[in-house]
Amino acid sequence: MSAPLPPGSTIGILGGGQLGRMLTLAAARLGLKCHVYSDASGPAFDVATHHTVNAYEDVGRIEDFARSVDVVTYEFENVPLPAATAAERIRPVRPPPKALAVAQDRLEEKRFVADLGLPVARFAAVDGESDFRAATQSVGVEAILKTRRLGYDGKGQVRINAATEVAAAFDEIGRNPAVLEAFVAFDYEVSILAVRGLSGEVRFYDAPLNTHRSGILHTSTVPSPLAGSRVARAREIAKAIADALDYVGVLAVEMFYLGGEAKEPLVVNEFAPRVHNSGHWTIDACAVSQFENHIRAVAGWPLGPTERHSDAVMTNLVGQDADDWPHLAAEPGTCLHLYGKRDARPDRKMGHITRLSPKSQRPT
């Protein structure tokens, strides 16, 4: 295990979106600089000490970028794998590129989680029409067909209710390699935000309850109603994934809670090898945010505390929601975060608010 990077070191971040921006702001608190590499100008550029705009496919430039920094991390899971492996030849890449490889492919991700003996919904590969029958037979017809790659915020997914609907769904997702997943009737979704340090130590934030609108995260609330024993199980699941990947940084694992009657009440939906939208409340409700703990982990620093000092409800500001900033800024107890994006396209995450209230005593 290497020594922690001293203050003044530079963190390289692949990706220039709002997560990169908040990672950069967190690094700055610790006296660390950031160099952001992205294929297009983004919100992280305004605050990063250095930035590079260039294709991820340009291995030479990726190597130059890696040479200019002390460690490389990433802020989105669709970083092309060759970029991460090129960077790794020069500097440590944390989380490890293997986490990218698994998380980029829904089928690999499901297999990885299932192979660890962890609970996932039934699933089957669908590469073409010849797979339709076997897939619905093993998974059932109450299911969701999802592209294996490049899906996010509910994109690349089609719900089906009968075997006869698979063909149309396959057309709808562009006839791309897909995975058919059994539909899970869940009470609610929670996410586990874990951070794993270079030493293998794992810490957890309180698990938020997440709600969605049009497939996009809408709110994350702590505490969630999940009972303490369930939280312990959910953390055990997240830790098993992190350990198996020899993970370093923040890992977000989305899980469905199926209710107390279910034989397996918690089922893994998916994981993200990065800081996560459902952890934005940690900026305002914890001494050390998910962003700072990610930076600490990848820089080889001691992990920071993960306890919350306040209850919190995070609400995303999507598209025109952010136009309401003058009123949101005037709301008591509300922390406003805007990402500095110019164009408020309808599904674009423009910012978020966190409403704080005194900490309740619910044992989560």
Closest listed residue to residue 273, CA positions, set 102, 152, 84, 134: 102
Distance in angstroms between the alpha carbons of the first and the last residue of the chain: 33
Counted residue by residue, the chain has a size of: 364
Q: Give the whole-angstrom CA distance, residue 318 versus residue 312.
A: 19
Residue 3 tokens read as 């020594």
Residue 81 tokens read as 């794998």
Candidates 40, 55, 162, 329; binder of its own copies (CB under 8 A) is 329
Candidates 305, 324, 345, 360; binder of its own copies (CB under 8 A) is 305
Minimum distance from residue 328 beta carbon to its own copies (Å): 9
Please identify, using beta-carbon distances, which residue of 24 and 147 lies nearer to its own copies.
24
Residue 356 binds its own copies (CB under 8 A): yes
52: enclosing H helix or E strand: strand 50-53
Residue 111 tokens read as 């297999």
Show the site string, 2-31: x = touches its own copies by CB under 8 A, - = not: --x--xx------------x--xx--xxxx
Please identify, using beta-carbon distances, which residue of 259 and 302 lies nearer to its own copies.
302
Stretch that binds its own copies, among 185-193, 236-244, 272-280, 281-289 (CB under 8 A): 281-289
Residue 319 binds its own copies (CB under 8 A): no
Q: Give the whole-angstrom CA distance, residue 127 versus residue 283.
A: 41
Please identify, using beta-carbon distances, which residue of 91 and 359 lies nearer to its own copies.
359
Minimum distance from residue 332 beta carbon to its own copies (Å): 5
Footprint on residues 282-301 left by its own copies (CB under 8 A): 284, 287-288, 296, 301
Stretch that binds its own copies, among 77-85, 216-224, 229-237, 335-343 (CB under 8 A): 335-343
Residue 313 binds its own copies (CB under 8 A): no
Residue 337 binds its own copies (CB under 8 A): yes
Buried b (16+ CB within 10 A) or exposed e, 57-96: ebeebbbebbeebbbbbbbbbebbeebbbbbeebbbbbbb
Candidates 57, 309, 324, 345; binder of its own copies (CB under 8 A) is 309
Minimum distance from residue 185 beta carbon to its own copies (Å): 38
Residue 265 tokens read as 């009440």
294: enclosing H helix or E strand: helix 290-298
- HSE toward the beta carbon, residue 171, CA cutoff 13 A: 4
Closest listed residue to residue 255, CA positions, set 266, 242, 241: 266
Backbone angles phi, psi at 350, to 5 degrees: -100, -20
Show the site string, 230-269: x = touches its own copies by CB under 8 A, - = not: ----------------------------------------
Residue 295 tokens read as 């930076």
Minimum distance from residue 77 beta carbon to its own copies (Å): 24
Q: Give the whole-angstrom CA distance, residue 169 versus residue 166.
A: 5
Candidates 250, 322, 349, 364; binder of its own copies (CB under 8 A) is 322
Minimum distance from residue 29 beta carbon to its own copies (Å): 5
Neighbours of 39 (CB within 10 A): 17
Footprint on residues 41-60 left by its own copies (CB under 8 A): 46-47, 49
Residue 335 binds its own copies (CB under 8 A): yes
Write out 188-244 in H/E/C secondary structure.
EEEEEEEEECCCCCEEECCCCEEEEECCEEEEEEECCCCCHHHHHHHHHHHHHHHHH
Stretch that binds its own copies, among 54-62, 239-247, 268-276, 323-331 (CB under 8 A): 323-331
Minimum distance from residue 295 beta carbon to its own copies (Å): 11
Please identify, using beta-carbon distances, which residue of 7 and 215 lies nearer to its own copies.
7
Stretch that binds its own copies, among 62-70, 95-103, 131-139, 352-360 (CB under 8 A): 352-360
Residues in touch with its own copies (CB under 8 A): 4, 7-8, 21, 24-25, 28-33, 46-47, 49, 284, 287-288, 296, 301-302, 304-305, 307, 309-310, 322, 325-326, 329-330, 332-342, 351, 356, 358-359
